[in-house]
Chain A
């Protein structure tokens, strides 16, 4: 296995996965997965179908509870926390099979994610417990009555939600479809909407599950630029799963390669490209090369 030195040791570690393992019945879908991601990095996670990539995302976001191992996010142990708390702490994601709220409008899809702005008490409590000096003790506020009675402070937040959602939509170029049903969008725009929706939770780490799946080369090219842009504009760290090797090689700074739930390689794109094990794992699968 190629070991690369972590040259930028001064850089802040955003996500650390240690010995992450999950078993489904007899199957060990992910086996002792170790990884780290530094602030503002764009990291790729690749591997053949069924390797366990999505399962790793599901463990990081709290959808699955790992059988073993820990997930550390900004020095806070978030292993097996509830998904919504993890989102409030600053991890947002998209799904491999697009999961938009298809009956709702494009704008509403983004605004749903902004509901988290009113709901982050538990996450703030976690942060306060972790570091009381940096994170003040949160005060509990029920927004329910404010929302029903439409109090001025609620209306102010609602206005901010609307404003920020529209801003996000114009960033991803979907502002003209704001009133359309999400299901009315075609495939590419749906992917972008899912990213905008994730960004609306104001995350510091964005997980993208095969964002280029099902796209043609030109769309893929556009998406690569788009993701690079998003990273700059939102000052965000990104971990992405991808099928398309070229795509990953092009935009990712480091890559983890997974096969049968185990890391088989880790390094910068040039190293990964030459790695024997990686070539072997991908051999015969033309779609990846």
Chain B
């Protein structure tokens, strides 16, 4: 087996990134607005999924609270970028509190602040939740995410409650989304392939052995949870400025979103960052495609009315089938690297003779 050198790896990666940039340029110019939006969504999902797989896959703790941090990021960023007049108009039941009512800032600082606030929320949720393990942790994070959602729903003077936020500037372009995805992948990849990442992967296999090897399991789980929360917040910020309207219904920034992102990371292979991106691309794509089943159809003269929620049902079934028969997902725990491609390719060639 040949090892691909660092230099080759680096050059190939730079070429790949530049090549992808041109692809995106072409897509945004010639595929039309509709597809440009879908391609943007792929990257947003990619950020949500990679940050989720860091916790659920790499670190091996099963959180169900991801949407909570996405919501925190979405609301934080939206409240920071919304034009002041728009805020005054939207908050007609209870006015928005100071200083939020007089702030309006650019997209980049708002996104970064959203990440930080979401990371802080992840710290507050993770600290007590990580005291328990396994199913209890999953339930605790699920409960906390629901608490976040209900707090948002009832804090009229901050979030506009169930009315939601409207008229969020549509800042999220292909470039912002894919640019942030690139940053996310670089940071999370660098984290995963460091001594810390090794510690996380070890913990995911055996916490007792990891402790005996000198790893402070709680501290590292919390660290992973907070880093994940940061990028969930970034994803949320981008999502809010893609949607332009957000509200605290369970189907928008609630458990449903966690479930979607869970499908992405399971399809991609739990623990694989590149797999999570592939899963996100797959999901964004098939969610569009599955809209067909929700619209009225004409079958040999027979008109079937559109069934709302049908695509959800199909996703749920697909999810169950994957869990039963294809646990590995696309990538398993591996990463899509040049070495990985080379190994697979050379194996294929080797098989033929």
Contacts and interface: CB of A to CB of B under 8 A. Distances in A.
B195 A111 contact: yes
B215 A149 contact: no
Interface stretch (B82-90, B199-207, B302-310): B199-207
B221 to A, nearest CB: 13
Interface residues of A, number: 42
Contact of A115 (B187, B206, B215): B215
Interface of A: 61-63, 82-84, 87-88, 92-93, 95, 99-104, 108-109, 111-116, 118-120, 143-144, 147-150, 154, 157-158, 161, 197-198, 200-201
Interface residues of B, number: 24
B99 interface: no
B33 interface: no
Contacts of A119: 214-216
Nearest to B216: A84
Contacts of B187: 148
A132 to B, nearest CB: 24
Contacts of A161: 195
Given A84-B216, A92-B212, A113-B214, 9 more contacts: A62-B211, A63-B208, A82-B216, A84-B214, A99-B209, A112-B199, A115-B198, A119-B214, A197-B213
The list of the 8 closest CB pairs from A to B, nearest first, reads: A116-B214, A87-B214, A147-B194, A99-B209, A83-B211, A113-B213, A112-B202, A115-B199
Contact of B194 (A84, A104, A148): A148
A161 B213 CA distance: 14
A101 B201 contact: yes
Given A99-B206, A148-B187, A61 B212 contact: yes
A101 B214 CA distance: 14
A197 B210 CA distance: 11
A176 to B, nearest CB: 13
B223 A115 contact: no
B202 A104 contact: yes
Interface string B186-198: 0100110011101
A87 B223 contact: no
Given A63-B212, A83-B211, A103 B195 contact: no
Given A112-B210, A115-B198, A161-B195, A103 B216 contact: no
Contact of B190 (A84, A148, A157, A198): A148
Nearest to A112: B202
Contact of A112 (B191, B215, B217, B223): B215
B164 to A, nearest CB: 35
